[in-house]
Amino acid sequence: MGSVSGTLATMGCAVPYAIAAKFAHPDRPAIALAGDGAMQMNGMSELVTIAKYWKRWSDPRLIVMVLNNRELAYVTWEERIQAGDPKWPTSQDLPDIPYADIAKLMGLGGRRVDDPEQVGPAWDEALSADRPFVLDIVTDPNVPPLPPHITFAQARGFAGALASGDPEAGNVVTSTARSLLATLLPSRKGR
């Protein structure tokens, strides 16, 4: 079962929702998927709650996966696509916080992943841990979270933002092209 904040795009509910799930079902694993903005908003303080109560749960597995791109990416992309505004780093860049290390300081497990080849082994480690675990997954802020089908107005806003002096325009175009090519061309891995 999964829980989301509905259509409100509410930040910061993933970790509290996972804690609530653990209290409702202490014998089941719970997984929270959080962005780094939400983690900085209240997820880190909720790690204190996890550290306080986890030993009461019959199954201690509560995994917090932080998608760490050092940016309020949803806001950045929403403004690019809907308003055609370029990224404004002053309001959207975030400091790089070592979430896994913070978890370890609280007696929880943690691992930072900055190599895609390590994602699987990191999940294996988190799922087999004897305590709650934070996966700090470093991601690329220049990969657009575009839905499979976008409207003409969204495409126009996206192009307008990039043409308006977006500081990451070159990286965004490169990442978008890579993503598009990956969906169109068969994988050549292992050949």
Does residue 8 carry a pLDDT above 70? Answer: no
| Cα atoms found within 13 Å of the Cα of residue 120, Cβ hemisphere only | 1
In a domain, 17, yes or no: yes
Does residue 97 carry a pLDDT above 80? Answer: yes
CB–CB of 65/34 below 8 Å? yes
At residue 146 the predicted structure's pLDDT band, cuts being 50, 70 and 90, is: low
**Which domain does 128 fall in, by range?**
6-184
Tokens coding 53: 């109560």
Does residue 81 carry a pLDDT above 90? Answer: no
CB–CB of 137/68 below 8 Å? yes
**Whole-prediction pTM value?**
0.75
In a domain, 124, yes or no: yes
d(CA 170, CA 43): 32
In a domain, 173, yes or no: yes
Distances (CA, A) of 167 to 28, 37, 89, 90: 44, 20, 8, 11
Active site residues: 78
